[in-house]
Chains A and B, each alone.
Chain A
């Protein structure tokens, strides 16, 4: 006969919050949370009271008022009579443009430098370590100023290209390199140009379909179809054919040296500030990405390389087919923070006169309206949203390539 002894059911006493290990940690966390909330409330209240004392109020109506100033690079229609809100949007688009461009080029620089740092060639290896160490150990602000300074001093002014008898001819008759930016031809979309564009898009789809078919055929039958030449043929021949059938609807708008006495007109101008900030951010962040890539590659066990070599793969294919896909799992998470760095560092653009959102909303608008707190709050909100978006998008990609554990 056994006597069932139930564990004594103690009544909950207040002292248990401190003495009982089950509750103690909760108690302290609650205290810390309350204290934190009180501090934040006190600070926010202090700010509000002081603002009220100064007779300042938080008011966002200035966003609807006329901005009154001009911006040199606008991706959407904008004039000095537009509102402060559209000036902010112009700035946001400029920020996104430079961040997007810099993320792509920084990744290319980084992957190249990271792979080459592990090269067997002594000179290449040392050159790449030189690049990494020089660029990541000098602040990006100095690189931006330096690259812009070198650009404005070393390139000639647009005057060299201007007039009936310029001292410099357009490069290939198409391009001009000045210290105010690079001028390239812009396409003019005539009537019927849509047909050409649609043909090109269809060709791209056809190329993808053809390559899929070739791969499938290789796996099923072992028969190897040529892919190089047919790809080029499918891509170009129909488009060129349509271009001439439609009567050459797409023309080129060339930089014109005669239209204006100060600057080249026509074509597409890629401003010197954009180039300086884009290049500086890419080359600076590229150095960090190179280190991430090198770490990722070295994290892949050497046995993988040796096994692939034993199968008879050439070293370039070992890198692209075996090592890099596995290394990506290590590379992607730190890569996210590098992309975030690029986006945030783009706020230094005002240094070289690039009209990003910090320069428009957080610069000129802030100044002209005097609404400092509102503008800074909006800026914080914008950078927060952008950073969280970038990070979540890349996290989705990271989830798709990470090791699937079952």
Chain B
């Protein structure tokens, strides 16, 4: 009895002892590996492929940071987290950053003490229903049973949407996306709700994707982005600018194919600054001069990452929409590299 007390106390203390270490960049360099929190598996965003290699839109952000800091896109330990465990994992220092389609909200920023470094996907919550249910709008869902993945902002949006439209529903909280899928397909719930991108990714894995429709309503704003802990702004800067490098690269027309050629020097000073042939931007971040060039050469620019993982030519088939460059009327915009 006394023993078990000691052991449990040791566990708690052990968990917290690893937290609160300053200098995340030094830790990552000393470890030789970046610990990056991702989903437990959402095709297109983060999921292991047939060979067991993690791939996806969020995975590319992890790999970009690993390339910038360690120079190796494979020096990443992917830590699968559920909606429930992700924040504890980040707060306790188990992971260095979280890239897990996480919505940027005020309370997560201020109360949970995290820093969202940017937005890599502008999303919104939607609904998916079987076609033969004959539902045309989410407002027709009065009395329906709704499957939700627990531990997300979707639960709160869902409650707000049904309350403001004065209709009732029965929630079925499900722990992971895979289980929610199974319940939805077995007919234990009428509709499945989560971020519209997640719905598209989930539908792509169904046997007959055409039998399911996404309802037109988007009931919330879900800016998804990578985040780090409060307390280490230098590390936050590295993650922020790794993402911005990919975005700026698309804007300037730098791709994985022409990055090496352009890094020799061009007549556009911003390209030169980004690729390290001019100025000392890498040094300011505590990185090598060619950090951004390496990111673009291994991961590609933002547009390439999008098209390869979730774009219209993939099974997920998302169009750029809001996630086009600002020059094309979208919201994707990076501050200047200067």
Tell me whether A372 and B188 are in contact (CB under 8 A): no
- Of the 9-residue stretches A121-129, A135-143, A257-265, which lies at the interface with chain B? A257-265
Query: For the complex, is A30 an interface residue (Cβ under 8 Å from B)?
Result: no
Task: Provide the residues of chain A in CB contact with B87, threshold 8 Å.
Answer: 367, 370, 372
Look across to chain B and name the residue whose beta carbon is closest to the beta carbon of A69: B155
Query: For the complex, is B17 an interface residue (Cβ under 8 Å from A)?
Result: yes
Contact of A263 among B108, B143, B155 (CB under 8 A): B143
- Of the 9-residue stretches A49-57, A192-200, A240-248, A303-311, which lies at the interface with chain B? A49-57
Query: For the complex, is B156 an interface residue (Cβ under 8 Å from A)?
Result: yes
Q: Could you tell me the dominant secondary structure of chain B's interface residues? A: mixed
Tell me whether B9 and A43 are in contact (CB under 8 A): yes
Bound CA–CA A353/B180 (angstroms): 10
Query: For the complex, is A347 an interface residue (Cβ under 8 Å from B)?
Result: no
Q: Could you tell me the dominant secondary structure of chain A's interface residues? A: helix
Query: For the complex, is A146 an interface residue (Cβ under 8 Å from B)?
Result: no
Task: Provide the residues of chain A in CB contact with B88, threshold 8 Å.
Answer: 372
Tell me whether B151 and A367 are in contact (CB under 8 A): yes
Chain B positions 60 through 82: 1 when the CB is less than 8 Å from some CB of chain A, otherwise 0 = 00000000000000000000000
Query: For the complex, is B328 an interface residue (Cβ under 8 Å from A)?
Result: no
Look across to chain B and name the residue whose beta carbon is closest to the beta carbon of A55: B113
A261 to chain B, nearest CB (A): 7
Bound CA–CA A179/B84 (angstroms): 27
Bound CA–CA A71/B10 (angstroms): 36
Task: Provide the residues of chain B in CB contact with A359, threshold 8 Å.
Answer: 150, 173
Task: Provide the residues of chain A in CB contact with B160, threshold 8 Å.
Answer: 68, 80
Task: Provide the residues of chain B in CB contact with A369, threshold 8 Å.
Answer: 107, 111
Within 8 A of B (CB), among A151-166: 152-153, 157, 159
Q: Known contacts being A353-B172, A363-B151, is A68 close to B187, with CB within 8 Å?
A: no
Task: Provide the residues of chain B in CB contact with A260, threshold 8 Å.
Answer: 142-143
B153 to chain A, nearest CB (A): 8
Task: Provide the residues of chain A in CB contact with B170, threshold 8 Å.
Answer: 72, 263
Task: Provide the residues of chain A in CB contact with B171, threshold 8 Å.
Answer: 69-72
Bound CA–CA A369/B175 (angstroms): 17
Chain B positions 183 through 203: 1 when the CB is less than 8 Å from some CB of chain A, otherwise 0 = 100111110000000000000
Query: For the complex, is B163 an interface residue (Cβ under 8 Å from A)?
Result: yes
Query: For the complex, is B118 an interface residue (Cβ under 8 Å from A)?
Result: no
Tell me whether B156 and A56 are in contact (CB under 8 A): no
Query: For the complex, is A318 an interface residue (Cβ under 8 Å from B)?
Result: no
Look across to chain A and name the residue whose beta carbon is closest to the beta carbon of B189: A180
Q: Known contacts being A56-B91, A364-B150, is A80 close to B163, with CB within 8 Å?
A: yes
Look across to chain A and name the residue whose beta carbon is closest to the beta carbon of B9: A43
Task: Provide the residues of chain B in CB contact with A364, threshold 8 Å.
Answer: 150-151, 155, 173
Query: For the complex, is B284 an interface residue (Cβ under 8 Å from A)?
Result: no
Bound CA–CA A322/B158 (angstroms): 60
Bound CA–CA A372/B12 (angstroms): 13
Given A72-B173, A152-B183, 20 extra CB contacts under 8 A: A36-B2, A39-B9, A47-B12, A54-B20, A56-B113, A68-B155, A70-B162, A80-B159, A80-B160, A152-B188, A157-B187, A179-B188, A261-B143, A353-B174, A363-B84, A363-B151, A363-B173, A366-B84, A369-B111, A370-B112
Q: List chain B positions with a Cβ less than 8 A from chain A.
A: 2, 5-6, 9-10, 12-13, 16-17, 19-20, 83-84, 87-88, 91, 107-108, 111-113, 141-145, 150-152, 155-156, 158-160, 162-163, 169-175, 183, 186-190, 229-231
* Closest 6 pairs between A and B when the two form their complex, measured CB to CB: A80-B159, A260-B143, A53-B20, A157-B187, A367-B151, A370-B112
Between-chain CB contacts (< 8 Å), 21 pairs: A44-B9, A47-B13, A53-B19, A54-B19, A54-B20, A55-B230, A55-B231, A68-B155, A69-B158, A69-B159, A71-B171, A152-B186, A179-B188, A180-B189, A260-B142, A272-B188, A350-B150, A353-B172, A363-B84, A367-B83, A367-B84
Q: List chain A positions with a Cβ less than 8 A from chain B.
A: 36, 39-40, 42-44, 46-47, 50-51, 53-56, 68-72, 80, 152-153, 157, 159, 179-180, 259-263, 265, 272-273, 350-351, 353, 355, 359, 363-364, 366-370, 372
